[in-house]
Amino acid sequence: MSSAAPDSQPGAVGYRGEAPVYENMIAIDRESPESIQKQIRRQIAIGIVNRQYPLHRPLPSIRQLSTELKVSVTTVALAYDGLKQDGFVESRNRSGFFINPDVLTDPGHALTPDATAELAAPRDRIDYRAFFRDRSFDLQHVAKPADCLVRYRYPFVCGLIDPSLFPIQSWRECVRDSVNVVEVRNWAADYSNTDDQMLIEQLIQRVLSKRGIVAHPDEVLVTVGGQQALYLAIRLLLSPGEIIGVEDPGYPDAINMASMERVRVRRLPVDRDGLVLSDALNDCKCLFVTPTHQFPTTVTMPLDRKLELLEITKRNGQFVIEDDYESDISFDLTPPQALKGLDGWGNVIYIGTLSKSLMPGLRIGYLVADREFIREARALRHHLIRHPPVNNQRSVALFLQRGYFDRFVANLTKIYRQRCAAMHDALEFHFPGASAKPEYGGAIIWLRLPEESDADILRDLVEADGVFFETGGFTFSDEKNNRNHIRLGYSVIGESLISEGIEKIAKAVPQAHSG
């Protein structure tokens, strides 16, 4: 193991005579709960598999790296020992540590400049853009910039959770306990025909019961988010050419999924009480509705209309897909009962998700329906993804079981209520009567701008000031005449910034006219 000085060892940090190879590749965060030894070990391993280090040159010596990083020699030695045990590096007598070629999938075939240029040169290739022109899945949909929480000072983003509010210590405890020896053995099993039973029990006891839903474990299926649950329901209930009724304005991805399955879509108007019940419903094989928290207007369907809807669909022999997104964030201590909780015939297929109240990245959703429907949904899920990750299921189950979820949601609800009030006050000041407080709760306010306003132009105008929001025009069947709507989320923006952000939007409105 060489201990040569930094200016005499080729390939090391600070090597004189050529650009330093390792400069800025290892960053130490002394505030991180991860040990410094593990930080060094992890970052070197990532650099190796990403081919950031020369294969046939020694890595920095232990002494040199400890000097450069201002850490102890022992810390670096332990990091290298760990890398050696994991097979990332190998030691050579009196020469130091080198990358183990076996860890690279194709160590001897790095592209030369000539080969790279040849691959980049134009050639007679398949035109995939033309191939997918009439059959593309790249449809207009709701999406947020992945870096929106960093890029924007005023992120009026919908559907995300403020990471600063998340109880990381409680979550870390549950993740740690989900990877003990016994639990890891469970990961070796095939969960295609089952789900984590603790998670199913906790969903029934702690989540569905609050929505007035009584379910047997055989009537619940875990999915990869609410999106997959929705796709499974549409795919199972409708055949090409049949009609699904979707609210107008309504959820674009429900329309996209129906279109992908060649299902006809009928747009159904909504009013201040949600879906309007009319003869237009009668020809639909299935209805997709958001009765508790209508997407995107946030209005709540009253009990008498829910009961009437159930009676109509029972009489017509129709299915109802109920999307109960944001159901956990209720400002009322006794939230209205879900449509599924009133369903005595079994035609309501209930979709729930923890993405709006836990973390979107965990992708935990669920279907609740008759056990025979769930049997078919499980079979279809098998052919698509087999099953959701078992480790995520168990971590969430423990989080629910230990009461951390209930405490977290209670805290979120308190903070969201305050932010909602602050946003409503700011909107009433700048746009009197153009919005309404959500009746149920959630984390979004629907705003109608002056008729001549174009929300797309407005979004571009305020982006330079660090403001982000979602436009609402494409949720309507007639987008052209409804371009003056926007969705404002308050889940990730600090209360102190809300008024200032709304003011920036208001000042830009006079310039946001189309044509």
Please indicate, yes or no, whether residues 195 and 318 belong to a single structural domain of this protein: yes
Q: What is the pLDDT of residue 221?
A: 97
| pLDDT digits 0-9 by tens, 47-65 | 888 888 877 788 888 888 8
Label residue 9 by pLDDT band (50, 70, 90): very low
Please indicate, yes or no, whether residues 393 and 425 belong to a single structural domain of this protein: no
Q: Is residue 140 part of a domain?
A: no
Please indicate, yes or no, whether residues 396 and 412 belong to a single structural domain of this protein: no
Q: Is residue 41 part of a domain?
A: yes
Please indicate, yes or no, whether residues 361 and 420 belong to a single structural domain of this protein: no
Please indicate, yes or no, whether residues 221 and 367 belong to a single structural domain of this protein: yes
Please indicate, yes or no, whether residues 289 and 272 belong to a single structural domain of this protein: yes
Q: What is the pLDDT of residue 123?
A: 58
Is it the case that residue 448 has pLDDT exceeding 90?
yes
Where in the sequence is the domain holding 235, given as residue range(s)?
187-401
Q: Are 213 and 350 in contact (CB under 8 A)?
A: yes
| β strands within 302-421, DSSP E | 319-323, 348-353, 364-368
Q: How many CB atoms lie within 10 A of CB 316?
A: 14
Q: What is the mean pLDDT of residues 463-488?
A: 94
Instruction: Supply the CATH number for residue 73's domain.
Output: 1.10.10.10
What are the residues facing 471 on neighbouring strands? Answer: 486
**CA angle 472–228–254, rounded 5-degree value:** 35
Q: Is residue 127 part of a domain?
A: no
| pLDDT digits 0-9 by tens, 148-186 | 788 899 999 998 888 889 999 999 999 998 887 666 777
Q: Are 64 and 103 in contact (CB under 8 A)?
A: no
For the ranges 153-162, 166-175, 332-341, 487-496, which has the lowest average pLDDT?
Answer: 332-341
Q: Is residue 179 part of a domain?
A: no
SS3 sequence, 162-219? CHHHCCHHHHHHHHHHCCCHHHHHHHCCCCCCCCCHHHHHHHHHHHHHHHCCCCCHHH
Instruction: Supply the CATH number for residue 157's domain.
Output: 3.90.1150.10
Mean pLDDT of the chain: 87
CA–CA separation, 176 vs 170, rounded Å?
A: 10
Q: Which of 401, 428, 450 is the last residue of a domain?
A: 401
Q: Which of 333, 367, 401 is the last residue of a domain?
A: 401
For the ranges 94-103, 267-276, 417-426, which has the lowest average pLDDT?
Answer: 94-103
Please indicate, yes or no, whether residues 368 and 506 belong to a single structural domain of this protein: no
Q: Is residue 465 part of a domain?
A: yes
Q: Is residue 289 part of a domain?
A: yes
Q: Is residue 502 part of a domain?
A: yes
| β strands within 194-306, DSSP E | 220-224, 243-248, 264-271, 274-275, 286-289
Q: Is residue 447 part of a domain?
A: yes
Q: Which of 338, 369, 401 is the last residue of a domain?
A: 401
Instruction: Supply the CATH number for residue 261's domain.
Output: 3.40.640.10
Please indicate, yes or no, whether residues 459 and 418 belong to a single structural domain of this protein: yes
CA–CA separation, 9 vs 304, rounded Å?
A: 80
Q: What is the pLDDT of residue 58?
A: 87
Please indicate, yes or no, whether residues 374 and 442 belong to a single structural domain of this protein: no
Q: Residues 487, 488, 490, 493: what is their CA dihedral angle, to the nearest 10 degrees?
A: 130
Domains identified in the chain, total number = 3
Q: What is the pLDDT of residue 308?
A: 97
Please indicate, yes or no, whether residues 219 and 315 belong to a single structural domain of this protein: yes
Please indicate, yes or no, whether residues 251 and 387 belong to a single structural domain of this protein: yes
Tokens of residue 458, six digits: 């407005």
Please indicate, yes or no, whether residues 359 and 277 belong to a single structural domain of this protein: yes
